[in-house]
A and B are shown apart, each in its own frame.
Chain A
């Protein structure tokens, strides 16, 4: 295992790497373009669907995005269809397909995010202003659920650290807490789970939140987040199990002590505060050594789980000297 700060990449190398990492999209683009040209005569849309099934369902608002050197390369993207129809969003039901069915009532506009706690001054941010705060980046990340399945998602957003700078936290702030939207009239299915105290709450240590991989997320596949994926604003922490990445955030609170987090309160022995992806530390009841990649035939799904979900180079230094078995 490599512990230490990520090596700094000379800017001269970033561009070629970038082109390399987007080669699939480039190829697909030119293929689709050629196909579209050739196929206008026989109904190009159908052909486009055959060439690129499941990704042609993009219906949401397109976002202006830029490339990012922090994107994950060498992974086949999970389809838009699967990313949006295999969700854990228990406020909208416990079955994986429930959120896509039940989330129509989530009022994503107008939407504000309140910043409070140990900050220079409490502030309220409007969602549209937040989306313009920094250029939106395309960032492909592996997404690993504690239930031992995984996806590869092309998120859209910018580093949470950029937002935190705007919040002006005090030096006494050691943790940041994220509180999700909750309205039991809209999220009638939340009672299907016994014992959870809503709203959903998650948290990160300040240095984890400031790590550039931690993404303040507004979209996926180049468009605004569908409701079931945590619209209109969520965080994505790619080296931790999925439930650490809180959805539909309405409040961000800077605090001195470790904040209460939903699944940790529900079953402390199964869900630790840190919840870093770790194949060597099992959680009840799942074996975390391997995972199933979503969207593949069953005989191709199984793969080895990587420590920190493969992001150790960028994040292992955060846990230097910590016993990851104890701080699971």
Chain B
């Protein structure tokens, strides 16, 4: 891929990733976030986190399936960090608009409310990944250790989806679509690995 088209694509991805945030800022400025603004912000940041997480998780299997697209790896860090950005906004929504910065209430929520426990776990699992996203950190840790650490994202994804299911009312199926997408992306990994191992080498064929 040419350098200029890569730069153009990066700009586009940045804009696309910032769009949900821009929409919220615009809505807050014009007080047009719907009847329940707090709920709108909570849902928008949570949903964007899971969607970006799904896109980030899709990078590796897509590269394996379509060798022509190997260059998309250059976008994974960007997407991963935006996932963390929205997860952090989502967390801050709870800290500020729900708990009102009351540490006691937050502690009670984390202990008593399992959907908050799961959500908090997901964010904490992503924290070291965001912290070690620099080239310097990769060099310092070494590729192998860095890769192993970043497998935490699978656990974070599971916690994120569980968090969503535990938050909705019993019987409400809204989380189903994103659950299927993330489940497929997680299962694609062992399946593709297995397929690759079984594929006979050209010399043996």
Contacts and interface: CB of A to CB of B under 8 A. Distances in A.
Interface of A: 81-82, 85-86, 94, 96, 149, 192-196, 266-267, 270, 282, 284-285, 287, 289-290, 292, 294-299, 301-302
B174 A296 contact: no
Interface in B16-41: 28, 31, 33-39, 41
A266 B38 CA distance: 27
Contacts, number: 70
Interface in B149-178: 166-167, 169-174
Nearest to A95: B174
A47 B113 CA distance: 48
A196 B171 contact: yes
Contacts of A294: 35-36
Interface in B102-139: 105, 108-109, 112-115
B97 A298 contact: yes
22 contacts: A85-B35, A86-B34, A149-B39, A192-B172, A193-B169, A194-B172, A194-B173, A196-B171, A266-B169, A270-B170, A287-B105, A287-B113, A292-B36, A294-B36, A295-B35, A296-B37, A297-B28, A297-B31, A297-B37, A298-B33, A298-B97, A301-B38
B98 interface: yes
Interface in B35-89: 35-39, 41
A192 B172 CA distance: 7
A141 B98 CA distance: 24
A222 B138 CA distance: 66
B94 to A, nearest CB: 10
Contacts of B172: 94, 192-194
Contacts of A301: 36-38, 97
A82 to B, nearest CB: 4
Given A86-B34, A285-B166, 8 more contacts: A193-B169, A193-B171, A195-B170, A266-B169, A267-B169, A282-B112, A297-B31, A301-B97
A305 to B, nearest CB: 13
B171 A195 contact: yes
In this complex, which of A96, A195, A294, A298 has the most chain B Cβ atoms within 10 angstroms of its Cβ? A298
A82 B35 contact: yes
A174 B98 CA distance: 40
A292 B167 contact: no
Contacts of B112: 282
Nearest to B99: A287
B36 A285 contact: no
Contacts of A290: 98, 100
Contacts of B170: 195, 266-267, 270
Given A297-B31, A298-B28, A298-B33, A285 B114 contact: yes
A96 B37 CA distance: 13
A192 B97 contact: no
Contacts of A284: 113
Contacts of B105: 287, 289
Contact of A285 (B39, B97, B100, B113): B113
A289 B173 CA distance: 27
